[in-house]
Structure 1
């Protein structure tokens, strides 16, 4: 009995040591899945708390935990003056996301918050549009004559689960809009992959300025092998051939890049090829991260590069709420992390619908205006040459829903979309928290809105003096 007692005692001690050792190992080397979870939570809570002014606890519960991985239920948060810290069960996998005015939040994967704080804008523009101006240059909206369109906004099935905002633009005017509980026209919303199409417009502007070329190759210093053949046009059409994963929920290339890498573009630059450039379509967030590094490298001054999206795109079309976020290294995360109000996303959609013309000023080059809604052969007609989609979220031809052939889309994770129909002078923005597993697509709603807008009178044009105020010759205000 004495021997048995000793054995049990030693077994108990060994088990205790094993538990303590495992706990210590987890503390020092937490699994990547847990790190991705806490880093993701830090990032989403930080951006929504500081940019959208939402309650951090609500964001954690509603945006992070409710639709996410079960492990996220055990993430805890602390909000500080300019950052959010998270951890798992109160002690494991602590991660931090830091806020900077005008640049939003960035993760600090190694805990180097000073490196994140060092990336900042010298001048931060005011976030609120001039309310005395008629939309799109201001936020005054004079809608009328479209009650059927507005009535469609109250159809929960059409709007979809988790809807946060719908904005309908016809002939350059907002004719209807609706917002989910707790959200309004003033709430900046995460567009996820709609940021890819924004990145495309910025690249196009640098091409128009002669700083880049569509057929330019040898794009990054790391690409000295077959990757040197990758052209900007390949990245724009998602046919670079880079071996990048694109799936969500667990640890893979896109989640590791966005939440665990201090330099996202360096991570992408280190990837090899799985196909020759220009020979295979594969949609990847890393492609637009590489494009962000490439267009930013076309500036000799980093501060000029950081200010460029606002100077070249956001301010000229009144998108003053728009914030494109960077990583710790200061490169825009141009594949997914951008916030703007639904009205500002509608401004962007209107610019594309009008083929880059904004009140008579050609903000975007005309060759890009053709690219953005021209489908590529390698994508089998689904994707365009300008980082946009020819099919909606349900990946069926537009004609299946009664939508015109010229319809094209910007799309983002969890139910974000902008439908643009040039032939109808129509833009429909739909934002929400709508995981793809719910099976919702906005195409039917857009088709019904289109039909209702056809049947009703067009809003009168604003008086000439208002047009003079909102449509400056230099495209600025």
Structure 2
């Protein structure tokens, strides 16, 4: 009996030991992701806990979490096997924020002031529907087939597309939503937020308030080898600063998003391991550092909060969009912008028109070229807070295509040569964007 007990219990100890060594440190990140996702999805997008768990949180080990929503106090909590409880609170105007035990939930906070126009102009410059426009050079049968093919057939769940929107010459020529979603559904763009953050520097530069080619205004770097890093280097993810970003493990990015109070400092404290402009390295920490730099351009926190909306978001009618903050009140410029599919497309249209929005120039036309020009050592894949197709990453799509890209397959694709903006929102990276883009482009004759 004792021998049998030893034989059976020893593997159990090995399993528990292995789990503790490999997975226990991840539990706080798992519960953090889950609590934040549930709070945001429920209080921002008005989705039920069941739907969020079944769809948004149903991947990898995130499904281990057990979630609870407190409707009256507007927060969500999550644990993993009863361990590592995390809490995310919802605040009007700021979204859901993952907090720690030291966060004072009674402390007053500022919220951004919004200016929402009620223009009766047709989309994209107002809220009215566009008049039906039929273009003779568009093969609508082929276009609609391409869009329909982006969605799961009945009984399947592998493409996980939530919406596709195609705009040609400022007119919607195709629009489709998955069951349960409409043109009014607010969707998380994840890293497409980076393109929003980067755009604000173009606006500041147009206003004569900032020079991206000067050393980044960071006091902590003034007396070491980071003093020559420019904001231009940061925008291009080419600063040479240490950073690792792998979402299947504990890394700088996951610790920042799910454990850090002030996300603008996560990259700031990292050492330089390469000279600037010699080593491209994708970093969400860099974009949050840029958010921190933006904050320092204003005398008050309120001015910083307002600027993102008054200078860009509300200026181009992205009234459904808002960006969530961290515990320190910084916009999480790397990851947490929400908007309807139509409002996401407006960012693409702004770039398609080189910064001009219905007659108003928000940034210099040269800024569109700046963000879509390959940065050194990125092998033609990255510009300034935008991804590029210069090297043919999508081999059957035009090479001048550049795009905002987000976790789980979010994309706003801008194709200047075709006068097209294409948006796809979904829940999986395993999606054939080359096929979708090439088929849509193929349906429009120049």
- The reply to whether TM is greater than 0.5 is yes
User: Are the counterparts in 2 of residues 430 and 442 from structure 1 also a CA contact under 8 Å?
Assistant: no
2-structure distance, mates of 1:450, 1:114: 50
- In the other structure, the counterpart of 1:63 is 56
For residues 288-367 of structure 1, the aligned pairs below 5 Å read: 288-367=287-366
User: Are the counterparts in 1 of residues 217 and 293 from structure 2 also a CA contact under 8 Å?
Assistant: yes
For residues 219-298 of structure 1, the aligned pairs below 5 Å read: 219-224=217-222, 225-298=224-297
1-structure distance, mates of 2:186, 2:403: 20
1-structure distance, mates of 2:49, 2:102: 20
- In the other structure, the counterpart of 2:123 is 135
Q: CA deviation at 1:42?
A: 1.1
Q: CA deviation at 1:120?
A: 3.0
Q: CA deviation at 1:124?
A: 4.5
Instruction: Render the CA deviation track for 1:386-437: whole Å, top value 9, x for unaligned.
Output: 2111129xx8444x20x22321111111010111111211000000001x3x
User: Are the counterparts in 2 of residues 288 and 334 from structure 1 also a CA contact under 8 Å?
Assistant: yes
C-alpha spacing 1:218/1:316, structure 2 compared with 1 (3 Å)? closer
Instruction: Render the CA deviation track for 1:249-284: whole Å, top value 9, x for unaligned.
Output: 221110110010011112221111121122111111
Choose from 206, 209, 220 the match for 1:208. Answer: 206
Q: CA RMSD in A?
A: 2.6
- In the other structure, the counterpart of 1:72 is 63
Choose from 438, 446, 450 the match for 2:441. Answer: 450
- In the other structure, the counterpart of 1:40 is 33
1-structure distance, mates of 2:370, 2:404: 14
Greater mean deviation of Cα atoms: 361-370 or 188-197: 361-370
User: Are the counterparts in 1 of residues 161 and 426 from structure 2 also a CA contact under 8 Å?
Assistant: yes
Choose from 396, 403, 406 the match for 2:400. Answer: 406
C-alpha spacing 1:382/1:111, structure 2 compared with 1 (3 Å)? same
- In the other structure, the counterpart of 1:52 is 45
Q: CA deviation at 1:219?
A: 2.3
Secondary structure at 1:431's aligned position in 2? strand
User: Are the counterparts in 2 of residues 158 and 444 from structure 1 also a CA contact under 8 Å?
Assistant: no
Q: CA deviation at 1:31?
A: 4.3
User: Are the counterparts in 1 of residues 151 and 160 from structure 2 also a CA contact under 8 Å?
Assistant: no
5+ residue gaps in structure 2? 6-12
- In the other structure, the counterpart of 2:10 is none
- In the other structure, the counterpart of 1:172 is 170
- In the other structure, the counterpart of 2:92 is 101
Instruction: Render the CA deviation track for 1:287-320: whole Å, top value 9, x for unaligned.
Output: 1011000011100111010011110001111100
User: Are the counterparts in 2 of residues 101 and 120 from structure 1 also a CA contact under 8 Å?
Assistant: no
2-structure distance, mates of 1:95, 1:357: 43
Secondary structure at 2:346's aligned position in 1? helix
User: Are the counterparts in 2 of residues 130 and 138 from structure 1 also a CA contact under 8 Å?
Assistant: yes
User: Are the counterparts in 2 of residues 293 and 331 from structure 1 also a CA contact under 8 Å?
Assistant: yes
User: Are the counterparts in 2 of residues 131 and 140 from structure 1 also a CA contact under 8 Å?
Assistant: no
C-alpha spacing 1:67/1:139, structure 2 compared with 1 (3 Å)? farther
1-structure distance, mates of 2:243, 2:84: 26
C-alpha spacing 1:74/1:191, structure 2 compared with 1 (3 Å)? closer
Secondary structure at 1:247's aligned position in 2? coil
Choose from 97, 112, 116 the match for 2:103. Answer: 112
User: Are the counterparts in 2 of residues 244 and 284 from structure 1 also a CA contact under 8 Å?
Assistant: yes
User: Are the counterparts in 1 of residues 166 and 422 from structure 2 also a CA contact under 8 Å?
Assistant: yes
Secondary structure at 2:422's aligned position in 1? strand
Q: CA deviation at 1:333?
A: 0.8
Secondary structure at 1:197's aligned position in 2? helix
Secondary structure at 1:443's aligned position in 2? helix
User: Are the counterparts in 2 of residues 158 and 445 from structure 1 also a CA contact under 8 Å?
Assistant: no
Q: CA deviation at 1:243?
A: 0.5
User: Are the counterparts in 1 of residues 237 and 280 from structure 2 also a CA contact under 8 Å?
Assistant: yes
2-structure distance, mates of 1:321, 1:94: 31
Higher helix proportion, which one? 1
User: Are the counterparts in 1 of residues 354 and 366 from structure 2 also a CA contact under 8 Å?
Assistant: no
Greater mean deviation of Cα atoms: 140-149 or 319-328: 140-149
User: Are the counterparts in 1 of residues 64 and 80 from structure 2 also a CA contact under 8 Å?
Assistant: no
2-structure distance, mates of 1:125, 1:72: 39
